[in-house]
């Protein structure tokens, strides 16, 4: 009976199962669901763009592509733009999460769209169908570009790899670096050919987005091909497993390749300039109106209607947010942490509008150097910055400037001795500045007749000083810098760029929603200018038949005019001096936008032998580094009790934490993740690793 019962039950179950076999599972989304209509394609594209390797508020060099805004800061990766209190402030030589595995996941999705959408071609108008193919090409180009910047030659996975399969079919070896850049060029070209001139949805690509990124990518490729040759043994090498040139270019290929890539960068930028309809943002700009020029540049980074915006990463409170304000605001607005982005004096010195010594450094004394003569006195800290570029003021919070309707008090300490005040140190050389700090000075450590007062930290840690009129004040004020707390203005400044000037909600973790401009028209102008000068340096004609050096000159003039900077006095030419003018302008204009860390790498100016041109212009590397190591300076305001005036001291940053950066030639290429190399028969590690 048991056997009969089991047989009957089995038969019943088999019948039920047979009835259900032709019914699709309810929890499986098929290609028919996603690729046969625009609603489904919208979902597919949302997934693609959600995992794009964009570098905005949710990216930091130390973390890598983790989509994480924790400790959000910009310019702190050894670029010289800014310093930070934490361990995330270090040279950009690798990322905690290497952009490798996630890249191939996204490549698979892009390749699947390219291979499968043709099956549904009749479901769409031709321009719509082409646009979505162009989106896939753009995604693939963008991913390969992100990988090439980091690793050089990478596996060029341009089709879906089906699983399961033979191991030989599953593994794709690294291509040469030249093949990789050629693939990026081809994908961006195909994307620009297929994409619509205007994005069909906010956040999507279009023809000019693709061309703008093409110009940037090809500028990178051209520089790598050219400037890898500047090393004693040339920065190139073969993989041990495949004997493929995974980094660098062949001796008989680099010159032609660099010219080709610079030409492609120039052509792409010129197309955007001529056809895209973009222009520099100048809604509040007016000639000879420095206040208006400053406010114009403050507004441009939050105005979604800006004529300059080419590609923007948007946020929305409370569903899609970031934490930049919570981590990088001045200390007086502290909610969780503060002072994440603290610009350096070295960065500030790039800008016009300051008195200078003969060596080009900012003047703080009436002598021939900052260790000579006596300090120049100012009634208020902002008097020192009265002639500074409006652009700089929009990027950096000066001591005493107003932000969020509050004067930002930045003070290193109080001096109670007699005037005139001699320099606080006898020796301001790099070696001496490394060895000594303000806390070591006898005028601070003296048990009697102390004349220099500093504070170790804010609030309860503040040293109180009684002024001649009986007023009691904190030695280092509301925002420091304090010598034992990293949330003050470490180098004498706070970053202003990207901070919300009037947040609709109290700033806090995950409460900020201002947009991040990933690509703007100024980028394109600078790309065109740099490519033009590089082509002229190589004695190459304009690839578009125009006067490319005049185009380059006009582009730099246009950017400088908007910035309120000193104007060029002569046209750019095909020489290194003109190249450096363009590089320096790029350093200034695109600061704190995740651009400089890559520019330094492609120019090959971060290692010791090339560091004289680290700032985009010649600057004796011995002034800020020794060997592979280097540091940055701050500009520190002190209050003189005798007169009630301020003076500034310029020297290496010597407050909380010791920020020493180090870079070697091998660091221009990131290490391939060790696990990927160990498990593969065809994935090569970088040469010399």
The secondary structure of 148-184 as a DSSP string is: HHHHSS-B---S---SS--HHHH--PBPPHHHHHHHH
Q: What pLDDT, in 10s, does the model give residues 291-316?
A: 999 999 999 999 999 999 999 999 99
pLDDT (0 to 100) of residue 162: 86
CB-count burial class (<10 Å; 0-12, 13-18, 19+) for 583: buried
Q: At 414, give phi and psi (nearest 5°).
A: -125, 135
Q: How many Å apart are CA 604 and CA 610, to the nearest integer?
A: 7
| Nearest-angstrom CA–CA distance, 217 and 185 | 8
Mean pLDDT of the chain: 93
Q: Which two tokens stand for residue 342?
A: 């603290």
How crowded is residue 638: how many other Cβ atoms within 10 Å of its Cβ? 25
Is the separation of the CB atoms in 533 and 574 below 8 Å?
yes
pLDDT at 87: 86
How many other C-beta atoms can be found within 10 angstroms of the C-beta atom of residue 284?
16
Report residue 281 as tokens: 């943002």
State the pLDDT at residue 251: 95
566-570: long-range contacts (C-beta < 8 A, 24 or more apart)?
A: 566/352
What are the angstrom distances between the C-alpha of 544 and each of 110, 148, 286, 528? 32, 27, 33, 12
User: Cis peptide before 164, with omega less than 30 degrees from 0?
Assistant: yes
DSSP 486: T
Ranges of the chain with pLDDT below 50: 1-21
- The pLDDT assigned to 653 comes to 76
Tokens at 635, concatenated: 């500009």
Q: How far apart are CA 85 and CA 656, in angstroms?
A: 7
Cβ atoms of 434 and 631 within 8 Å: the answer is yes
Q: Dihedral through CA 25, CA 26, CA 31, CA 35, nearest 10?
A: 160
Whole-angstrom Cα distance, residue 534 to residue 270? 15
Cα–Cα dist 141/515, whole Å: 24
Q: What Å distances lie between residue 195 and 54, 127, 218, 519, CA to CA?
A: 20, 8, 19, 17
Q: How many helices (H) and strands (E) does the chain have?
A: 20, 19
User: Which pLDDT does position 27 carry in this prediction?
Assistant: 67
Question: Residue 3: what pLDDT?
Answer: 46
């Amino acid at each position: 009976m048991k056997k009969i019962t089991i047989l009957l039950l089995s038969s019943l179950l088999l019948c039920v199962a047979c009835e259900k076999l032709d019914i699709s599972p309810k929890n499986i989304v098929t290609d028919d669901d996603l690729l046969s209509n625009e609603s489904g394609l919208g979902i597919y594209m949302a997934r693609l763009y959600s995992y794009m390797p964009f570098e905005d508020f949710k990216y930091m060099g130390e973390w890598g592509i983790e989509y994480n805004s924790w400790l959000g800061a910009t310019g702190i990766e050894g670029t010289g733009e800014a310093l930070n209190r934490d361990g995330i402030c270090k040279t950009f030589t690798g990322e905690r999460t290497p952009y490798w595995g996630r890249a191939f996941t996204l490549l698979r999705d892009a390749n699947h769209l390219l291979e499968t959408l043709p099956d549904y071609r009749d479901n769409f108008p031709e321009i719509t169908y082409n646009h979505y193919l162009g989106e896939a090409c753009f995604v693939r180009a963008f991913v390969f570009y992100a990988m090439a910047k980091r690793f050089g030659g990478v596996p060029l996975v341009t089709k879906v790899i089906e699983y399961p399969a033979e191991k030989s079919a599953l593994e794709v070896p690294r291509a040469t670096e030249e093949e990789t850049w050629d693939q990026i060029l081809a994908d961006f070209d195909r994307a620009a050919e297929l994409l619509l001139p205007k994005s069909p949805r906010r956040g999507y690509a279009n023809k000019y987005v693709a061309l703008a990124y093409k110009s940037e990518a090809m500028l990178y490729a051209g520089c790598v091909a050219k400037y890898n040759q500047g090393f004693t043994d040339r920065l190139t090498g073969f993989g041990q497993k495949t004997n493929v040139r995974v980094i660098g270019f062949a001796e008989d290929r680099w010159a032609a390749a660099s010219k080709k890539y610079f030409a492609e960068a120039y052509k792409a930028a010129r197309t955007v300039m001529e056809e895209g309809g973009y222009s520099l943002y100048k809604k509040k700009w007016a000639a000879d109106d420095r206040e208006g020029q400053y406010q114009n540049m403050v507004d441009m980074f939050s105005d979604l209607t800006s004529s300059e915006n080419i590609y923007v990463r948007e946020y929305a409170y409370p569903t899609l947010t970031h934490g930049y304000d919570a981590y990088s605001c001045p200390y007086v607005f502290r909610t969780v942490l503060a002072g994440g982005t603290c610009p350096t004096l070295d960065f500030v010195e790039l800008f016009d509008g300051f008195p200078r010594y003969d060596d080009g450094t900012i003047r703080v004394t009436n002598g021939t150097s900052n260790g000579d003569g006596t300090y120049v006195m100012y009634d208020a800290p902002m008097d020192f910055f009265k002639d500074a570029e409006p652009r700089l003021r929009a990027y950096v919070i000066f001591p005493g400037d107003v932000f969020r309707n509050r004067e930002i008090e930045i003070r290193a300490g109080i001096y109670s001795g007699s005037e005139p005040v001699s320099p606080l140190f006898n020796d301001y050389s790099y070696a001496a500045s490394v060895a000594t700090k303000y806390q070591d000075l006898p005028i601070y450590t003296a048990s009697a007749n102390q004349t220099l007062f500093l504070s170790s930290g804010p609030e309860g840690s503040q040293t109180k000083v009684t002024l001649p009129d009986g007023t009691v004040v904190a030695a280092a004020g509301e925002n420091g810098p304090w010598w034992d707390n990293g949330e003050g203005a470490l180098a004498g400044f706070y970053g202003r760029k990207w901070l919300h000037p009037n947040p609709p909600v109290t700033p806090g973790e995950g409460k900020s929603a201002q947009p991040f401009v990933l690509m703007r028209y100024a980028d394109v102008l600078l790309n065109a200018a740099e490519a033009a000068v590089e082509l002229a340096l190589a004695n190459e004609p304009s690839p578009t038949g125009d006067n490319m050096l005049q185009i380059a000159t006009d582009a730099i003039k246009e950017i400088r005019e908007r910035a309120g900077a000193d104007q060029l006095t002569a046209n750019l030419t095909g020489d290194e001096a003109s190249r450096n003018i363009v590089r320096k302008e790029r350093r200034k204009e695109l600061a704190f936008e995740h651009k400089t860390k890559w520019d330094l790498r492609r120019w090959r100016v971060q290692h010791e032998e090339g560091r004289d041109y680290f700032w985009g212009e010649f600057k004796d590397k011995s002034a800020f580094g020794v060997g592979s190591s280097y540091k940055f300076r701050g500009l520190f305001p002190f209050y003189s009790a005798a007169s009630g005036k301020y003076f500034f001291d310029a020297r290496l940053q010597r407050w909380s934490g010791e920020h020493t950066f180090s870079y070697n030639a091998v660091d221009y290429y990131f290490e391939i993740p060790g696990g990927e190399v160990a498990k593969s028969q065809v994935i090569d590690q970088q040469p010399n690793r």
